[in-house]
A and B are shown apart, each in its own frame.
Chain A
Amino acid sequence: MVAEHMAKAFDEEITQLRGLIAEMGGLAELAISESMEALVKGSQSLADSVIARDLRIDALEQDVDKLAIQIIALRAPMADDLREVIASLKIAGILERIGDYAKNIAKRSGKIDGREAFEPLTLIPAMSEIAEEMVHDVLTAYAARDSALAQEVMERDAKVDGFYDAIFRNLVSFMVERPATITTAAQLLFVARNLERIGDHATNVAEQVYFAATGDYLGDRAERPEN
């Protein structure tokens, strides 16, 4: 836990910063689940609301930027406070990207034909569930400053990658057999690609959470001597 700061205003600002990040995270999570629902059910209105809500994520990212810069400029934070601010700045950028991927999935939902008879469409929600859970858990790790959970989320990325490979092969063979479905299948390829990227970005957030909590970088932790 961060110790109580002598300057109460500083403490308030850090809390506000974390609140903004969490708000972005919540919006990104909802964007993923709703874009997937829109894709599976073919609901244009739901897709539109996902696209519209992305503006709010963008606005929040700007708020985080401003606040983080203001904190660095006025308070000159040190040690874990500085890590917290830097990590928040980076996480905001990543969450904004995640929101964009979800928005992209929502945009593609209107271009899927023959939803009922399209078998690979059942694989994609399963993949999305894993990616969504990664985002959910990494945000919980951020809220709890839980480095162990962050590390666990990173390990889950392999599952999403495995799913992506399976869906890729599945879709390609589907296209070979039924050339009429190429347009739809190509759209779904991009959807799967977006989900795979969301998984990668969840790992990136996990790295930042780990960094903010421990001061170590997860990537080169193995090479470092124990101290």
Chain B
Amino acid sequence: MTNKIRRPWAGMTLATVVLASLGAAGMPAPMVVLTGLAWLASLWIPRMGAGESAVRTPTARTDHEALARAAMCAALEQVGLAIVLMRGHRIIAANAAARAEFGAHIVGQDARVALRHPDAVKLLYLADGGSVTIRGLSSSGSLWQLTRQRIDERYWTIELRDRSAEADIGRAHTDFVANASHELRTPLSAIIGYVETLAEDPGRVDADTTARFLGIVLREARRMQSLVADLMSLSQLEAEKHDVPTDHIDLALLAARVVGEFPPGMVSTGQSSGPRVVLLRPDEPNSPIGAIGDTKQLEQMLRNLIDNALKYGDSARPVEVSLARGKRGMAMITVRDHGTGIAPDHLPHLTRRFYRTDPGRSRAAGGTGLGLAIVKHIVERHRGKLDISSTLGEGTQVTIHLPFSSPAAPPASKPASKSVSQPGERVDQTAAPANATLTNEILPGAKAPKAIAGPVS
């Protein structure tokens, strides 16, 4: 250490001279010695500091900066928002979300290469940064909001926020009214057309044609009726979206009842008289599966799914409805058909209102285009999960997971508030406690403990 640091000869000499003269001037000897020591020490301190910093300053600062930047990149890496760090116009780092959206190649490139859109390029040239919203940045139809912010004189960040989903939602609401009126107008114009023909000159249309026309009018009127009914249930569902249902029901009974509604026999082909819908219980065939839900809605949900499966499935093979206790306290209802299946491109959109993979076929089968949208809303209200999977040529499978409770026995006399305040005491330890806790977790606001408190059969 000492050989690296030059001794401050000049300072030492000066100190000695000053102290000697102070001593000569009549200062007390201990004071002179103390001052001298302090002086000498003070001569070394800046030297050592200077010596160190003289050697290290540039690297220390870069190390420090690099460390800070690495820490910042690590912190931003997993942020859901796409963020890129830039030096001048060059991208020097991009977090995982940005790389996933724009490709890993953007790191190290000019930002224009990564973003390319003229509005984005304009943003890059703005002296103070700013924010722009750009349509079609990553793919056509996507909507992105870019915000460019300055960190210091060289570094900038760009934050890229995907607004496509929000734009979709906004568009969906305006589309809905337009779609609904369009859907209502189609049967209405058919009805008006046929009735006009019949009314204009009653004598000129023969009886057969009249009967045929009236049949069409009736069919179209029924279609309007079911459409209006679907629209009503949809708006009802929207309204009570946040109220958790409270009825205690047995899913096994409910499924058997709905399946029983569908008469046996192949109506379309008339070939076979076997059941068109079969209910399967792979586990514990006769035990009830209790759940908390809205009976009418769950029936409608199952009816819609079976209806769809019958419409689009292979008419020679029955639709399979299976019911089982799944994992994590969820009952599993599966409706499977053996039809042509649905192309993967359509799957994400199936629950959208009036979305049809094949409009002509759907209308011919009397579909309103709202069936799956209603199913989705019902499942959401019951805090369940809806999965649709399909293989082209093999068929489609819709799976619904609903939270189930322990076997239903509604204790109407028990005050709900008490049960809620002490749920732990009321859990029967012989009944599956894991299910009970899970039900509590899944239905935090529901009166689930009431069901748990009931006796176990």
Contacts and interface: CB of A to CB of B under 8 A. Distances in A.
B434 interface: no
Contacts, number: 63
Taking residues whose C-beta sits less than 8 angstroms from the other chain, chain B's interface range is 20 to 34
B406 to A, nearest CB: 55
B112 A132 contact: no
B255 interface: no
Contacts of A33: 136, 140
A123 interface: no
A143 B140 contact: no
Given A19-B112, A143-B109, A27 B118 contact: yes
A1 B120 CA distance: 25
A16 B124 CA distance: 14
Nearest to A137: B139
Contacts of A146: 105
A157 to B, nearest CB: 18
A143 B114 contact: yes
Given A26-B116, A30-B118, A144-B103, A136 B140 contact: yes
Interface string B111-143: 111111110110000000000000010011000
Interface in B63-106: 89-90, 103, 105-106
B110 interface: yes
B117 A18 contact: no
Contacts of B115: 22, 26
Interface string A6-38: 000000000110111111011101100100000
Contact of B110 (A18, A129, A144): A18
A177 B110 CA distance: 54
A145 B108 CA distance: 13
A33 B117 CA distance: 12
A26 B120 contact: yes
Interface of A: 1, 15-16, 18-23, 25-27, 29-30, 33, 53, 129, 132-133, 136, 139-140, 142-146
Given A15-B110, A22-B110, A145-B105, 17 more contacts: A18-B109, A19-B109, A19-B110, A19-B112, A21-B113, A22-B113, A22-B114, A22-B115, A26-B115, A29-B136, A33-B140, A132-B140, A140-B103, A143-B105, A143-B114, A144-B105, A146-B105
Q: Which 3 A-B pairs have the closest CB atoms?
A: A19-B110, A26-B116, A144-B105
16 contacts: A1-B108, A15-B110, A19-B111, A19-B113, A23-B112, A26-B116, A26-B117, A29-B117, A33-B140, A53-B118, A132-B140, A133-B140, A140-B103, A143-B103, A143-B106, A143-B113
